[in-house]
Chains A and B, each alone.
Chain A
Amino acid sequence: MKKGVVICMKKLKIETKQKMIGFAFVSPWIIGFILFSAYPLLYSLYMSFNKVKISGDKLKMQWVGFANYNKALFQDAEITNSLIKVLQNTIIIIPIIVVFAIIMALLLNEEFKGRSLIRAIFFLPVLLTSGNLIESLTAQGQGSISFLKSDTINNLIAGIGGSWGDTLKAVLDSFLIILWYSGIQMLILIAGMQSINPSVYEAATIDGAGKWESLWLITLPNLMPFILLSTIYTIVDQFTAPFSKIMNVIKWHTQNVKTGYGYASAIAFLYFLVIMAVIGVAALLFRKSITNKRGR
C-alpha cells in the first residue's frame, strides 16, 4: 500500500509538471490578454456606467448608473439610426460575401493550369484592405462593376425606395469592393474542401452521381462548419471596418466634452451586443454543423 501511495504521488507530480510547462507556454498570451484586452474591456464597462471628465492627466468619474445606456438607446436618435443602418448594411453584405466566396472556392479548387496564378490574383485584394485606399478608389468610381450601373437596375431600386433602397444603392455602388472582402473566406473554404476525403467522390461516381449531385450532396454538407467559420469571420470583419458610420459616432463622442468617454463606452458596448446578436443568429442557423465539430 505504501508503494501504491508513492507511485500515486509520482504520477501526480508528472501531471502537474506537464501542466506547468503547458501553462508556461501559454502565459505570454495570458499576460497580454489581461493587459491589453481584459483590463481595457472591464475598465470600459466601468466607464460606461459613469460620466467621465478629463481633468489634467487623470479621469474623474461620476457614477450615473444606466443613464448613458438610456440616453443612447432611447434619446439619441443618431445612434439608433446608425445602428439600424449598420445592421441593414451587414444583412445584405454578409450573404453576398459568403456566397461569392463559396462559388469562387468551388471554381478555384478545380485542377487546371495556371491555377496558382489565378488564386494569387483573387487573393490580391486582401493586401489592399487599407481604409484610405478603398476610400480613394471608391471616390474615383472604381467601386462597382459597370454593368451594375445600368438604368434598369437603378429604376428597380428607385421602386423599392425608403431606407432599404438607400442601402441597396450604397451596396451596388461599392459592389466590387465588397467582393474584395472575401479573400480570406476563399482561403478557409478551399482548405475545407481539401479536408474532404476524395474517395467519397469516387464512391459517388461509381454509384452514378454526376458533378451536380456530388456538389450538393457531398461538398456543401461537408463544408458547413467552414461556411460557419467564414460567416463569423465576415461578421467580425464587417463590423470592425473602420469606415462604418457608428465608428465615427463613437469617436466623435470621445472628443465631446459634454458627454465624454462614458457615453462613448456605452455606445461601444451596445455595438458589441449587436455584434454578438448577429453572431448568435448565424450560429443558430448553422447549429447542425456545430454539434459535429470536434475539438472545441
Chain B
Amino acid sequence: MHNWTKWLRKISESMRKAFKWLKINLFSGNVRIVPKLSLYFILIIFSLIYIEPILYMVSMSFKSFSDLSDPTAKWIPKDGTLINFKFAISQLKIIPRFTSDKTFWQTISSSPMILSIITAIPTAFIQMFTCAFVGYGFGKLKVPCKRFLIVLLIFAYIVPPQVTFIPTAWVFKNFRLINTPLAFIVPALFANGIKSSLFILIYMQFFRKIPNELEEAALIDGAGYLKIFRRVMFPLAKPAKITVFLFSLVWHWNETYLTSVLYPSLNTMSTVIATVKEGTDYTYFAGNSYNFLQVKMASCLLLIAPILIVYIFTQKHFTESIERTGIVE
C-alpha cells in the first residue's frame, strides 16, 4: 500500500538530482565537458545544414546524367565526370580564342572570367588605398564640418542605387566610361565604389584606435601628414586592409544589378551564368540535351572558384582578428 508513495518519493528525488546536475553543468560559470560537447554538436550540425547548398553545388557539378536518377548517389556521384565543366567552359567562352580579326582587348574581354578579374581586382586594390586615405582624414585629422560630412557618408550608403542609376548612367555616358571596366574603377578612384562608405567607416574606426603619440613622434621628426600616412598609418592597417580588399573584391565580383546598367553589353561572370539555358549539344553530349542542372551548378562553381581561392588565403586575417580591426567601436 505504501509502495507507491515510496516510488513517488524516489522519482522526485532523482528528478531533483538530475535538475541539480543540469544546473551545475549547464548554467554555472564553470567549464565542464557536457556544455562543450553540446556546443560542438550544435555547431557541427548547424554548419552542415548551413552550407548544404554549397555542398550540393559541388557534388552536382561532378554528376553525370545517370547520377541524377540514381538514389544511391545523392552526395558522392558514382559516375563522376568532368564533362559539365568542359561544357560550361566552352559555352560561356571562358577561354579566349585569339583570332586575327579582333583586337587584343576584344578577345580578352570576350571571356567573362578574365573580364571579371580585370573589373574586380583593380577596383578592390584601388578602393583599399583610397578608402584608407579618406578614412585617415576622417579619423585623425581636423576636417571642417566633420560631423556633417560623416552624415553625408551614411546618407550615401543608405540611398538605394535605383534612385540614382539613371542619371549615373548618363553621367558615365558623357564621360565615355560606360561599357568599360572603368565604370567601376573610376568611382573607386574617388573612394565611391560599391558600399565604400562602409570601408571608410572601418578605416576611420581603426585609425582612431591608434594612439596619437605615434603621429606626434613622426611630426617631431619632421614628417608631413602625407608621409605619416604612407610610412606609418597605412602599413599599420593590415587587418583593415585585408578586410576591405576582400569585401570590395567580393561585392564587385558578384555585382549584377549595376553591371546590367553600367555595362550592358559586356559580360562578367556573374551576369553570364544566367544565360545557361536548356538545349542540346553535339560536341560533348552527342546530340542529346545536356545535363542542364549539373551544368548550371558547374558554372556557379566556376563563378565562385576564384573568390574561394582568395578567401582561403585571407579568411584567417579577419575572422580571427576582429578585435584589432575595430570595425565598430
Q: How far is the CA of A135 from the CA of B256 in the complex (A)?
A: 12
Q: Is there contact, CB below 8 Å, between A242 and B257?
A: yes
Q: B200 near A29 (CB under 8 angstroms)?
A: yes
The answer to whether B130 has its CB under 8 Å from any CB of chain A is yes
The CA-CA distance from A118 to B51 in the complex, in Å, is: 11
Contacts known (A21-B225, A33-B192, A35-B171); A121 close to B28, Cβ less than 8 A? no
Segment with Cβ contacts to B, from A64-72, A88-96, A158-166, A183-191: A183-191
Taking a contact as CB atoms closer than 8 A, the residue among A33, A47, A236, A294 that contacts B167 in the complex is: A47
**Chain B residues with CB under 8 A of A286:** none
**Are A210 and B28 closer than 8 Å at their CB atoms?**
yes
Cα A240 to Cα B297 in complex, Å, equals 25
Q: Does A205 sit at the interface, judged by CB under 8 A?
A: yes
**Would you list which residues of chain A between 37 and 69 have a CB under 8 Å from chain B?**
37, 39-41, 43-44, 47, 59
Q: How far, in whole Å, are A17 and B27 apart by their CA atoms in the complex?
A: 59
A225 to B327: give the CA distance in the assembly, Å: 13
Which residues on A sit within 8 Å (CB–CB) of B152? 33
Q: How far is the CB of B232 from chain A (nearest CB, A)?
A: 14
Q: B43 — which chain A residues lie within 8 A by C-beta?
A: 107, 118
Known: A36-B192, A37-B164, A41-B163. A127 touches B250 (CB 8 A): yes
Asked if residues A31 and B190 are in contact (CB atoms below 8 Å), the reply is: yes
Alpha-carbon distance between A68 and B315 when the two chains are bound, in angstroms: 48
Q: Which has the most chain A C-beta neighbours within 10 Å: B36, B163, B165? A: B163
Interface string of A107-138 (1 = CB under 8 A from B): 10010100010111111111111111101110
B145 to chain A, nearest CB (A): 9
Q: Which listed residue, B29, B253, B308, touches A205 by the CB 8 Å rule?
A: B29
Chain A contact surface mostly: helix
- Interface 9-mer from B11-19, B86-94, B97-105, B318-326: B318-326
Known: A32-B190, A39-B167, A295-B329. A132 touches B271 (CB 8 A): yes
Task: Give the shortest distance, in Å, between A177 (CB) and chain B (any CB).
Answer: 8
Query: Which residues of chain B are within 8 angstroms of A179 by Cβ–Cβ distance?
Result: 50
Question: Would you call B78 an interface residue if the criterion is a C-beta within 8 Å of the partner chain's C-beta atoms?
Answer: no
> Does the CB pair A130–B270 fall under 8 Å?
yes
Flag whether B57 is at the interface (Cβ < 8 A). Answer: yes
Q: For the complex, count residues of B whose C-beta is within 8 A of A.
A: 91
B191–A132 contact, CB under 8 A?
no
Q: Is the pair B171, A28 in contact by a Cβ cutoff of 8 Å? A: no
Q: Does A23 make an interface contact (CB < 8 A)? A: yes
Chain A residues near B311 (CB-CB < 8 A): 120, 124, 127
CB-CB < 8 A to B57: which residues of A?
137, 142
Chain A residues in 8 Å Cβ range of B136: 25
Q: How far is the CB of B182 from chain A (nearest CB, A)?
A: 13
Max count, chain A CB within 10 A of own CB: residue among B53, B190, B320: B53
B51–A124 CB distance below 8 A = yes
A102 in the interface (beta carbon within 8 A): no
A127 → B minimal CB distance (Å): 5
Cβ contacts under 8 Å, A296 to chain B: 147, 150
- A268 with B134: CB separation less than 8 A: no
Q: Is A200 an interface residue (CB 8 A)?
A: no
Assembled-state Cα–Cα distance A112/B160 (Å)? 40
B47 touching A112 by the CB < 8 A rule?
Answer: no
B212 to chain A, nearest CB (A): 13
Which listed residue, A32, A211, A236, touches B157 by the CB 8 Å rule? A236
* Alpha-carbon separation in the docked complex, A236 to B156 (Å): 11
A194 and B141 form a contact (CB under 8 A):
no
CB contacts under 8 Å to A, within B119-157, are 130, 133-134, 136-138, 141-144, 147, 149-150, 152-153, 156-157
Given contacts A124-B54, A211-B28, contact A195 B329 (CB under 8 A): yes
**Out of B56, B138, B165, B316, which one reaches A26, CB within 8 Å?**
B138
CB distance from B292 to the nearest CB of A (A): 10
- Which stretch in B2-10, B69-77, B283-291, B299-307 binds the other chain? B299-307
Question: Is A264 among interface residues, defined by CB-CB distance under 8 A?
Answer: yes
| B263 CB to nearest chain A CB (Å) | 14
Query: B49 an interface residue at 8 Å Cβ cutoff?
Result: yes
Q: Which residues of A contact B320 (CB under 8 A)?
A: 116, 119
**Contacts A28-B130, A37-B192, A118-B47 given; does A271 touch B163 at CB 8 Å:** yes
Residues of A bordering B, CB below 8 Å:
15, 18-19, 21-26, 28-33, 35-37, 39-41, 43-44, 47, 59, 107, 110, 112, 116, 118-133, 135-137, 140, 142-143, 145, 176-177, 179-180, 187-188, 190-192, 194-195, 205, 209-212, 214, 225-226, 229, 236, 239-240, 242, 246-247, 250, 254, 261, 264-265, 268-269, 271-272, 275-276, 279, 294-296
Which 4 residue pairs of A and B lie closest in terms of their CB atoms, listed nearest first?
A32-B190, A25-B137, A22-B141, A32-B192
List, sorted by A's number, 11 A–B pairs whose CB atoms are closer than 8 Å.
Answer: A28-B189, A39-B167, A122-B50, A124-B311, A127-B254, A129-B250, A129-B254, A133-B273, A136-B273, A246-B162, A268-B163
